[in-house]
Each structure stands twice: as structure tokens, then as C-alpha cells.
Structure 1
Amino acid sequence: MKKIARIMLSTFVVLALVVCITPVVMANGQGENSSDGVVNLKLSHSAAETHRYHKAALKFKEEIEKRTNGRYTITIFPLNQLGTQEEVTEAVQLGTIDIAITSDDKLMTLVPDFSVLGMPFLFRDYDHAYSTLNGEVGDLLSKKLEEKNVMVISWLENGFRQITNNRQPIFSPEDLNGLKIRVSTSKANMLFFNTCGAASTNITTSELYTALQLNTVEAQENPLANIIDKKLYEVQKYLSISGHVHTAEPMIMSKSTFDSLSPEDKKIFLEVGREVSQWAFDDAKNSFDENIEALKIKGMEVNYIDPSRFNDVVDAVYNEYGKQYSDLINKIKANK
């Protein structure tokens, strides 16, 4: 009897442990169902709560919750709480994270055609970038991404990338010669700087401040909002307004999560995504001069680059790397 009792007790303990550690199975495998049927979705991004990413995420959350009458709620995880952009992009593909704000260059491994967005001096201005990404080219890229179980729910805006360094103001390719610079993972962008004679490398955003502080790299390039958000002005003296490449920030959603929505809710998610996209581009455009002034106040010396001085470098990049994306490049340049 004692042996039987011990067996029964052991079985009970095992079952109790299984119940405790087994994840909750979600309805349709997506979202987290509460007892009242409300589905909670997880949204990840990499920035602080003062950044445009977070403000856009809040607008998206508020509108989705309002227009679905609370059937869906969204929990936002800023500052890479759920992982790096690379990690959360993969998690969205697997369906373990529902929504994430990521960089366009992080999607190149899934769809190589996203590389076209990193071509130098491709977009004329914010309006050109907005109409392109929310038009035919954006639709083409998103459709290819859907084949990888990921879709763009909103084309958010990070802005045009600008150059900072501790050596001197940058006016021409010659000023970049020999400069150790951290750049985005876009191959076209790295080729641009290497063609200028710079020594380009990639360092994770979380390690960039320290790398600049220790002079592991002397320079970096980022949109103004990121320079402010990561306090790079504390370890960089010169800000050269180059606008050499545009960086979009797609808000991506697991296609399996999207497919679990009703037709009516799918329409709501896409409508809200488009509205938030417009807000993000307007905010980037309207805050551009304000951000420059803020960085001047922080002690940065600002100069403006004439893009025509980089024409030979740009031609070389397009000749070497752009031919494979010539159709998309032509569509983008023809877009008004």
C-alpha cells in the first residue's frame, strides 16, 4: 500500500509540474486569450518611450483597441525587452511575437529585394519615401514578405541617415577616407562608405555608445531621432547632414496572427496601419529642424553636405550593386 501511495504521489507531482510549466495554448495559436475572450497581442520595438517608435506603437494600440471594441488589446515592449530586432523579426516569423517594429535592413535576409531601400540618395524627400512605401513598391515587397509568414502592417518612418564623427566635418568623400565608421547592415550602405574610403563595420545599437566612447569606431550614421534617443551627442562632436540613405521602419505582423483575424478586423488593422504610417512620416518631417537645433544645443557642430559631391561614389554603388534591383529602382525613381 505504501508503494502504491508513493507512486500515486509521484504521479500527482509530475502532473502538477506539467500544468505549471506548460505554456498556455492560444486560440488559433495566436495572441493570448483572456477568460473573457479578449485577445492580447505583443508588440516589440527597440527604442525608448520618448522615441517616435513608441509613440507610433501607442497610436496603433489605442486605435486598434478602440475600433475593435476591445476585442484586441496590445501590450507594448520597448527597449528590446523581447530581444534584438533580428531576434524579434525571427519571432514574428515563427508567430511567437505578434507585432514588431524593425528596420528595413533586418528584412533583407528574408526578402533580398528589401536591399533596394538601402541604395544611396534613392529617395528625394519624406513625401517621396512615403508614397513609394505606401504604393506599388511597398505592396510588392510586402507580398514577397508574406511568403515568409511575415507582413508589413504599417510602413513607419525612422528618417534619413546622417553622419556623425569626432574627427572633422564631412563635406566630401575625401573627408571619409580612413574613417572607422559604424553603419547599418545594408550591403549597399556599407558599399557606399567603403567606396568613399571609409572603414565601415556593423556594431549592434546597444553597443554603439560604448564603441564610440572607447574609440573602437570614430563615427556612425543614423537618423536624427536615433542620435537623440541613444544620446550619441555625448560621444560625438560633428554632425554632417547628408541624408545619404533613407531608413524605413516597417511594423511587421506575423501572417498567421493576421490570418486569424476576421475580415472586418483585418480591414481595421490595415486602416490603422496606414494612418499611423502617415503620422510617423509627418512627425519625422516636422521634427527634422527641431532635432537639429536640439543637437546643436547639446554641443554638436552641424554642417550640410552637397549630395552632388558624392555623384561618382553613388554611380559606382549603383553600377556594382544596383543592377540586380534595376526594375525596383526605376519604379522608385519614377514615383512622384
Structure 2
Amino acid sequence: MLIDDSRPRQLHDAGSFASGAIPDLGILEVPFARPAVGESYIEFNDDVNPILDELFVDHNQKFLYSNPAIQPGIIACKNPVGDDGDLTGKLVRTAGPWQAAAIEAWGGTSATIGTADLYNSLQNGTVDCTLMVYNLYESLKLPEVAPYVYRFEFGANYQAINMNMDAWNSLSEEDQTAFLEAGAAAQSYAFELLDSSIEPVVTGLESAGAKFCRPSDASIEKKVDAIDEVRDEIAKGVTERGEKLLEISKNYRDDAIQAPEFGPVDPC
């Protein structure tokens, strides 16, 4: 099959998918590296996006906008884990190398499993838990096999929508402006959808059998402290742009701890 390379092509870059090839993106896949929702996430977005615009040029891509479609992060497990969401000794599925490092820092052992195989892996006990986000947890029907949900509510896996730079350069200035304006509108609308969609998803998950609890502030702070160590490890392999992203993440450290505002919040 011949592919018409003259057509503009969009690329969907998630932090966990791209950080192996672009180490500067490492921090953008890590739990608690950014706020998950709300005004502080929008501000984080505004700070990060200009750096991504510079960074992706080196990889023949034009950054168009961020797609804030990832709902807050959770840990979902087949069986209850240790007190207060303690993952010590648990095998946890992750989606990228620095998510894996986070789980290791939290006392667990990471495993790489394709999304299509995750349901069976949890059902069969191949893994104990998975690092997950609400909307994927719902769509993959994971409450059936991993009903115990630890509501850490972290932000992770920042997403960028890019275009091949050759395709971008082939566009007229007018068309480029139209693409960027459409991207800004899509990004703004996605933020609205993100904020409005979480509560109905949580309500539906509770009806589907998910058993929610909220780890203590002390447990969450301990995990955020561990992320500081992961951030230091990422810093060893980045360029100046990566250093800027790490600094932005550090500036939002306190904002990244966001307690649930609805749904079950019983202590773990």
C-alpha cells in the first residue's frame, strides 16, 4: 500500500511512549509530577507547552497542542494491598520506564504489559495491581478483575499532539495559523470535558463494583517524596529543555497533591 506523504500527519505523543527516545520528556510520565485537574493543571500546561514546542523541533515534529484527556491516576489491585496503599512486594503494571521507577521507589516491582493483555493478567494474577487512570480503568472493564482502587488522584502521562515538521512546512501560513487556532480550541474544550467527566465515571465505577479508598495524607506525602528521588534520576540524562521541564514539575509539587472532591473517600 502506498502512503500519500503529502498529507499533513498528526502524531500523538504520550510521555510514557516517547521518553525512551526523548529523555527530556521523562518527567511528563511520572505520577505526581503535575496536577491532575483544575486551574493548576491549566497553568502547568501553559508553562510546559512552549518548551515542548522547542523540544519537538529537534525531532522533526511541530507541537500543536496538549490533549488533557487523561483523568486522575489511581492504583487498582486484584486484592487489597498493605495498609494505606502500601505496594511493598506487589507486582504493578506500568506504562513507561519512569513510571516503573516510581513504582520501584514506592516499594513495588514494575511489569510491562500491553493494554490489551492487562485484563487477563490481573484476572490470572500475573500482576497484583496496575497504575491506571479512571477513564481507562472504566473502558477496560478492570473493576471486574481489580476492584480495589486506591485514590491517589495523581497526574501522569502528559500528552502532546504534534505534526510531522515536513508536513507542517508544506502548509501555507494561513493554514498553519488555522491549525494552531484549532489546536488551542481543542485543548480548551478538552479541559472542560476533563473537569466535567470525572465524577460520572467514578459514580459508574462504584456501581460496577469498584471499591474505593483514599490513602492517608502521610502515605501520599511519602510517595511524593519518593518522586523527588525519581526526578533527580531523570535529571541525570536530560538536556537544558529537560531541566526546564523538571523545574516546572518541581514548582507544582504541592499542587500535584489533590484530594478527591466527590465520590467515596473512606480511608484505606
SS at match of 2:71: strand
Selected match of 1:297 from 196, 207, 210 = 207
Question: Distance between the aligned counterparts of 1:130 and 1:178, measured in 2?
Answer: 36
Where do 1:5-154 residues align within 5 Å? 23=2, 26=4, 29-31=5-7, 98-126=9-37, 127-133=39-45, 135-154=46-65
Residue type of the partner of 1:131?
E
Residue type of the partner of 2:206?
K
SS at match of 1:164: strand
Question: Distance between the aligned counterparts of 2:89 and 2:48, measured in 1?
Answer: 36
TM-score with structure 1 setting the length: 0.66
Note the C-alpha offset of 1:331.
Answer: 2.8
Note the C-alpha offset of 1:166.
Answer: 1.3
Instruction: Give the RMSD, CA atoms, in angstroms.
Output: 2.4
Question: Distance between the aligned counterparts of 1:273 and 1:280, measured in 2?
Answer: 10
Selected match of 2:74 from 154, 162, 165 = 162
Asked whether the equivalents of residues 79 and 146 of structure 2 are also in contact (C-alpha less than 8 Å), the reply is: no
Note the C-alpha offset of 1:200.
Answer: 0.7
Asked whether the equivalents of residues 74 and 151 of structure 2 are also in contact (C-alpha less than 8 Å), the reply is: yes
Q: Relative to structure 1, is the Cα distance of residues 322 and 289 closer, same or farther in structure 2, using a 3 angstrom cutoff?
A: farther
Give per-residue Cα distances to partners, 1:18-58, cap 9 Å, x unaligned: xxx7x37x4xx421xxxxxxxxx6xxxxxxxxxxxxxxxxx
Which residue of structure 2 lines up, in the alignment, with residue 217 of structure 1?
A: 127
Question: Distance between the aligned counterparts of 2:150 and 2:83, measured in 1?
Answer: 8
Question: Distance between the aligned counterparts of 2:30 and 2:114, measured in 1?
Answer: 21
Note the C-alpha offset of 1:244.
Answer: 3.4
Q: Relative to structure 1, is the Cα distance of residues 256 and 171 closer, same or farther in structure 2, using a 3 angstrom cutoff?
A: farther
Give per-residue Cα distances to partners, 1:199-253, cap 9 Å, x unaligned: 1111111221221122111211111111111111221110111123422222222
Where do 1:235-274 residues align within 5 Å? 235-274=145-184
Gaps of 5+ in 2: 256-268
Q: Does 1:329 align with 2:243?
A: no
Following TM superposition, where does structure 1 have runs of at least 4 consecutive aligned residues deviating by more than 6 angstroms?
Answer: none
Note the C-alpha offset of 1:128.
Answer: 2.4
Asked whether the equivalents of residues 160 and 247 of structure 1 are also in contact (C-alpha less than 8 Å), the reply is: no
Q: Relative to structure 1, is the Cα distance of residues 311 and 261 closer, same or farther in structure 2, using a 3 angstrom cutoff?
A: closer
TM-score with structure 2 setting the length: 0.81
Gaps of 5+ in 1: 1-20, 32-40, 42-97
Which residue of structure 1 lines up, in the alignment, with residue 264 of structure 2?
A: none
Which residue of structure 2 lines up, in the alignment, with residue 35 of structure 1?
A: none
Asked whether the equivalents of residues 30 and 157 of structure 2 are also in contact (C-alpha less than 8 Å), the reply is: no
Which residue of structure 1 lines up, in the alignment, with residue 88 of structure 2?
A: 177
* Larger Cα-atom Rg: 1
Question: Distance between the aligned counterparts of 1:316 and 1:163, measured in 2?
Answer: 20
Question: Distance between the aligned counterparts of 1:111 and 1:138, measured in 2?
Answer: 16
Which residue of structure 2 lines up, in the alignment, with residue 228 of structure 1?
A: 138
* Identity among equivalent pairs (%): 21
Asked whether the equivalents of residues 169 and 240 of structure 1 are also in contact (C-alpha less than 8 Å), the reply is: no
Which has the bigger relative contact order, CA under 8 A and spacing at least 6? 2
Question: Distance between the aligned counterparts of 1:299 and 1:103, measured in 2?
Answer: 29
Q: Relative to structure 1, is the Cα distance of residues 332 and 221 closer, same or farther in structure 2, using a 3 angstrom cutoff?
A: closer
